[in-house]
Amino acid sequence: MPDRRPYRREAEDKRREALISAALDLVAEGGPQAATVRAIADRAGVTPGLIRHYFASKDELTREAYRRLMERMTDDNAAVLDNAPTDPLARLAEFVATSLRPPVVDPVAVGLWAGFLHNIQRDAAMREVHAATYLGYRDLLQSLIAALPRAADPDQLRADAIACNA
C-alpha cells in the first residue's frame, strides 16, 4: 500500500518509441552489454516489467531497435535525392557520397552498427530485418543506376548495384 511509484498511462506508440530509442541510445553509448532491460526501462522512464508488456522478449525489442536504426539510415540517405540535381550521373554520385558521410555514417551510427553486428550474425530473425532493409537500399541504388544514360541488361544492373554498394 505505501510508496508506490506514480505513473501516467501512455499511448502504445509512445511507449514503444521511448523504449526503442532508449535502447538505441544505450547501445550507441556503451555497446550491447549496456543495453540491459533495467537500463533501458530506466532511461525510458518506466520500470523493467513494462518492456515485456510491449515486446515479447528483449530480443524482440532489440530487433525493433535495429530495424528503426536501419530505416533511419536509409531514409537519411534517400532524403538527399529530394533536392538533388536532375542529371542521372550527378544524382548517383550525390547518393553514394551521402551514404558515406554524416549523418548516415558518423561515429554514433558506426557505434550502433558495431553493437548490433554480432546479433545479426547469430539471430536468424535479426538477419531477416537486415536483409529486408538492405534489399530496399539496393533497389534504390539500382534504380539510380538504371537511370544512367548507358543501356544495360537487368542482370548487369543488379550486379552493378551490388558492386557499387561494396
- Which of a copy of itself, DNA, none lies near 15, with the C-beta cut-off 5 to 8 A by kind? DNA
Q: CA–CA separation, 66 vs 100, rounded Å?
A: 19
Q: Which CB, 77 or 119, lies closer to a copy of itself?
A: 119
Q: Which CB, 1 or 163, lies closer to a copy of itself?
A: 163
Helix or strand run (H / E) with residue 58:
helix 58-79
Quick note: the x/- pattern for a copy of itself over 63-102, rule CB under 8 A, is ----------------------------------------
Q: CA–CA separation, 118 vs 122, rounded Å?
A: 6
| Polymer length in residues for the chain | 166
Quick note: the x/- pattern for DNA over 10-29, rule CB under 7 A, is x-x--x--------------
Position 38 contacts a copy of itself (CB under 8 A): no
Select from 52, 68, 91, 138 the one that contacts DNA (CB under 7 A): 52
Position 117 contacts a copy of itself (CB under 8 A): yes
With the CA atoms of 57, 58, 60 and 63 taken in that order, what torsion angle do they form, in degrees rounded to the nearest 10? -170
CA angle 56, 62, 63 (to 5 degrees): 85
Q: CA–CA separation, 64 vs 17, rounded Å?
A: 10
Q: What is the DSSP string of 82-135?
A: TT--SSHHHHHHHHHHHTTSTTTSSHHHHHHHHHHHHHHHH-HHHHHHHHHHHH
Position 42 contacts DNA (CB under 7 A): no
* Beta carbon of residue 12, minimum distance to a copy of itself (angstroms, whole number): 30
Which residues make up the interface to DNA (CB under 7 A)?
Answer: 1-10, 12, 15, 35-39, 46-53, 57-59
Which residues make up the interface to a copy of itself (CB under 8 A)?
Answer: 29-34, 110-111, 113-115, 117-119, 121-122
